[in-house]
Amino acid sequence: MLDAPVQPKLLTLEELLALGDARLEIIDGRLVKMSAAGFAHHLIGGNIFRALDPYVMQRQLGLVFFDGMTYLMFSEAAGLKDSFVPDVSFIRAAHIVSMPDPNKPYPGIPDLAVEVISPGDDADDVQTKIRTYLEKGVEQVWIMYPTTREVHQYRRDNNPEIRIYRGAQPLDLADLFPGLELTTDQIFAVPPWAMK
């Protein structure tokens, strides 16, 4: 008779908060230390944030967040299965939930999650996060690959199709940000020395 696999004990929200400002995510019940974000990583994330935030604010579409916003992905506070910290995220105004304590992580999901890939990121973890984002109801996930200067756009409405953007090609933003134009050249516009 085979022994059943041992399921890891899930962290509670209070245990996660007790870890302080450590850069951590919970991926499928596992506590994962996030890679240190380098200079180019933040420049790319900043380019996306600066394109989205004024557009969203002017039209009162919702809120755009830069790196550091923790989403509990509808996990139970008593046992967190998933807790993600995208590099940039967007929540539609109609989807923002009331929170009894706004100093705690956001209990739900974003409508858009943007992940800038760092050299130390684990490919299996990235794929698990993409799948989880879409399964939980995130409309789009954008994965930024700085070394190849590519954007991979995953959309819940046509999963598992992936749209890959390069160069001056504009991203399809009609569902989330109609009328906004954003190209991969704009996203990856960083000084050449920052991409070494």
Pairing of strands 112-116, 88-92: antiparallel
Q: Please name the residues in contact with 29: beta carbons below 8 A apart, sequence gap of 6 or more.
A: 7, 8, 10, 80, 81, 82
Q: How high is the mean pLDDT of the chain? A: 88
Q: What is the pLDDT of residue 71?
A: 93
148 part of a folded domain: yes
150 part of a folded domain: yes
CB atoms within 10 A of CB 81: 17
111 part of a folded domain: yes
118 part of a folded domain: yes
Instruction: Please report which confidence band the pLDDT of residue 193 belongs to, taking 50, 70 and 90 as the band edges.
Output: confident
Structural domain range at position 78: 13-195
> What are the tens digits of pLDDT across the range 50-104?
999 999 999 999 999 998 899 999 988 778 888 899 999 999 999 998 888 888 8
84 part of a folded domain: yes
CATH number of residue 144's parent domain:
3.90.1570.10
Alpha-carbon span 7 to 133, nearest angstrom: 22
> What are the tens digits of pLDDT across the range 29-43?
887 888 777 888 899
Pairing of strands 62-66, 88-92: antiparallel
6 part of a folded domain: no
4 part of a folded domain: no
The number of domains in the chain is 1
Integer-rounded Cα Rg, in Å, for the chain is 17
State the alpha helices, DSSP H only, in 36-188: 39-59, 123-136, 184-187
67 part of a folded domain: yes
